[in-house]
Amino acid sequence: MSVQQKQLPKIILGLMAMRWPLAFWIIRQAIKRCLPQLKNSDFTFGFECQFGNIYAENVWLWDTIFIDHVPVHIGSWTQFSRGNMVITWTHDPCDFNKAIFKEVNIGKNCWITSRVTILPWVNIGDNTIIGAGSVVTENIPANCIAVGVPCKVLRYL
């Protein structure tokens, strides 16, 4: 067996390992073209948005899921950690067949940690940290750390 034949399996394995990074890069570029309102922003595998109503600049979205029937506004330099969900609609409690749509606004320089769920009509102020596993059901002021289910202010920065 020649040296070239011995190296062939290594080359094939190397090409196989490159498939996922290359495929994800191609998919990410296609998504960025479809979402021009995401300026200088990035995300990872698992990112999902339903309608493309996300308006942000210089943000890191990781694998956040956006159920974005109406706009979601995210301030500059905000970062999302893994496994978050932002929801912009709910059902009317009196009539389940009626949907209610409300915007979500997230301030500048916020950190939304892992597994956070942000519900409709919520405003999160600038420089705010939302703790892991929180469910944000009401407005959170600026310059604070908020945690819990439902999310409440723990302390101010």
Strand bridging mode 89-91 / 99-101: antiparallel
The values of phi and psi at residue 96, to 5°, are -65, -20
- Our answer to whether residue 73 is catalytic in this structure is no
83: left (phi over 0), alpha (psi -120 to 50) or beta: left
Active-site choice (11, 13, 26, 91):
91
Count of CB atoms within 10 A of residue 72's CB? 23
| Calpha distance 26→39 (Å, rounded) | 18
Are residues 111 and 130 in contact, defined by beta-carbon separation less than 8 angstroms?
yes
Name the residues annotated as catalytic: 91
